[in-house]
Chain A
Amino acid sequence: ETGVTQSPTHLIKTRGQQVTLRCSSQSGHNTVSWYQQALGQGPQFIFQYYREEENGRGNFPPRFSGLQFPNYSSELNVNALELDDSALYLCASSPRTSGGNEQFFGPGTRLTVL
């Protein structure tokens, strides 16, 4: 069974640029959530996708957007990058079941905005 994978591992961008981060969910999982984790802080929920539709969003501006594909993989897009967008971006997948609060996280993508 393959776990959650994310690409790229690290990324350096400059302010104002756009970035796309990718995530492959764990086999059998149809729900993908994205989190932003600033240094020394806990992860903060960005949004979640289920069946290719956004299914809940945290307190992030519209320049954070996403996609989910038929194979349940997902992308996170961030436009007009700001310095404060520098963080570890985590993807988590879970099966769409009614029990348990277990989400399976990938290793993350470290984004640095200069």
Chain B
Amino acid sequence: LAKTTQPISMDSYEGQEVNITCSHNNIATNDYITWYQQFPSQGPRFIIQGYKTKVTNEVASLFIPADRKSSTLSLPRVSLSDTAVYYCLVDPMDSSYKLIFGSGTRLLVRP
């Protein structure tokens, strides 16, 4: 049973805000939500992580409702270089252990 569900693909235009929602109905109390970004022929790159409410960094914002059964990655004013696959992960807070990736969301940013 998949731990997370996210759209297969999304399209956007430069300058728009993009919101990618991930469902994780069976999230456990000690699970954190982490998002990774992957460009073609490169390894994934950590974007942001959160447990509840809202987290913001220089790249993105992560919104987590009180029930934590979903989360939304928000990318402000995307550019062509944001075209990538975005993965939502739900795992215990332990950077030393395995990451479980789903199939991700392929975001295409058009001019």
Residues of A within 8 A of B (CB): 4, 31, 33, 35, 40-45, 48, 50, 55-56, 58, 88, 90-92, 94-108, 110
Contact = CB atoms under 8 A, between A and B. Distances in A.
B98 A42 contact: no
Given A43-B101, A44-B101, A101 B95 contact: yes
Contacts of A31: 95-96
Given A56-B98, A107-B42, A108-B43, 11 more contacts: A31-B96, A35-B99, A42-B87, A43-B101, A94-B96, A101-B34, A101-B89, A101-B93, A102-B46, A105-B45, A108-B42
B94 A41 contact: no
Interface residues of B, number: 24
A100 B93 contact: yes
Contacts of B42: 105, 107-108
A28 B97 CA distance: 17
Contacts of B46: 101-104
Contacts of A40: 103
Contact of B95 (A4, A58, A102, A105): A102
A48 B97 CA distance: 7
Interface string B81-101: 000000101010111111111
Contact of A58 (B32, B43, B44, B98): B98
Contacts of A105: 42-45
B28 to A, nearest CB: 14
Interface in B27-52: 32, 34, 41-46, 49
Given A92-B43, A106-B43, A45 B99 contact: yes
B102 interface: yes
Nearest to B90: A101
A90 B41 CA distance: 10
Contacts of B95: 31, 94-95, 97, 99-103
13 contacts: A4-B43, A33-B98, A42-B104, A48-B96, A56-B97, A99-B95, A100-B49, A100-B93, A100-B95, A101-B99, A102-B34, A105-B44, A108-B42
